[in-house]
Structure 1
Amino acid sequence: MRVLIADDHDLLRDTLVMFLEAQGDITVHQAANLGEAHQLINAEDSFDLVLLDLNMPGMNGLEGLRVTLDMKGGQRVALLSGEATREIAENALEAGAAGFVPKTLPAKSMINAVKFMAMGEQYAPIDFMTALDDKPEHPLAEKLSPRELQVLKGLTEAKSNKEIARDLDITEPTVKLHMKTLYRKIGAANRTQAALIAREAGLF
């Protein structure tokens, strides 16, 4: 079985490669961005499965998935993500993805999912796909729009505007606009204060 993993987080990618190759019957190639993945797809024999990180460079949301699905050999392509919503997962499956794999999946489940998809089946974890989208109400969260909450979460993770923009597939000016409005709503003067307020409130 030949698998290609494309993810810009070196540690995560190396860990996945180690787990899969330990099975003994899986050969794993790896890429750090979509461009490298496409080069390997064009240069190598067909892969049984291509795993693409939703937020790595070059993906442009689900567009990278669609382009990869259309490449030579009709690759089976699955989406890998630590932050995607159920809606994104559903859209990926509708677009023809072989599956959706959360990065939070335990190693054994990840291996089983890869084998399942490589054999021609479509995979998505039932608990993720059936989970309620609405989080428990939180006084601070009620003040913010869903997008402002996502930006605030990025701030609590000490991400730059560029990283937040890439993760959410929006522009940096849009991130700055959301930051400005969320600062006003929660009474913060800057990004550090906003992150502290969110942490102290137990929002993330």
Structure 2
Amino acid sequence: MGDDEHELEIKRSSSLLIVDDHPLFRDALAAAASLNPNIRSTYFAGSVLEACECLKSSLPDLVLLDLNLKDTTGLESLITLQAQVPSQRVAIVTATEDREIIERAMALGAVGYIPKSLDMNSLKGAISDLLSGENWTPPEFQQAIEPSPASEIASRLASLTPAQRRVLSGLKSGLLNKQIAYEMGISEATVKAHMTAIFRKLGVASRTQALLSLQAVVAI
């Protein structure tokens, strides 16, 4: 099989995970995706927890993630998925069209941001571009402007390793270092080392400041 044929076969075997707890829009996304002949299979999850379970068994080519789910809201859902599978391509699909939220999502490492207001053909085009390996944002977003402070913090959060993101998640849940260590199967000394690295990367000096930085980014 030649390289071109192999590339075509890969494209035709694309898979998609739609994470949305609203049945009507979940069906609309699936319908838009079905217009792409290269998609082999489409999976569904109604929460971040369900999505994480799906990602344990198989990795789709693309995750389409809503920002308002029954178990989390805002960009925290993106951070949670990235902590579990750092290499997973995740695009946000949401009714929230605020430019600053788009900036933060992309700075955190999302590969796309799709407004739910798009018509069916535009949805199909956006999904196709994302499956081909491109990033996608609304055309009006592509005009360059000065990044917001929250977007700059988002870029710092994106630099955290998966382990550091898990430590930060434990910190957000109010866990002590020894509890985080137990959950992650590492030593307290390693947790402390991760915490030091987190503070350095975020430019903060305490747990409280780290949590405030996280909240400034994930809130919508």
TM, length-normalised to structure 2 = 0.55
Once superposed, which parts of structure 1, at least 4 consecutive aligned residues long, lie more than 4 Å away? Answer: none
Aligned ranges 1:1-204 → 2 under 5 Å:
1-26=14-39, 27-44=41-58, 46-72=59-85, 74-127=87-140
Q: Identity percentage over the alignment?
A: 36
Question: What's the CA shift for 1:9?
Answer: 0.6
Residue deviations 1:45-85, cap 9 Å, x none? x2111011011123331111012123236110011111241
Contact 2:65 2:90 in 1 (8 A): yes
Structure 2 CA distance, aligned partners of 1:34 and 1:17? 18
- Counterpart in the other structure of 1:145: none
**Structure 2: gaps of 5 or more residues:** 1-13, 144-217
**Residue correspondences, number:** 134
TM, length-normalised to structure 1 = 0.59
What letter is aligned with 2:122? Answer: S
Quote the RMSD (CA, aligned, Å).
Answer: 2.4
Larger RCO (CA within 8 A; separation ≥ 6):
2
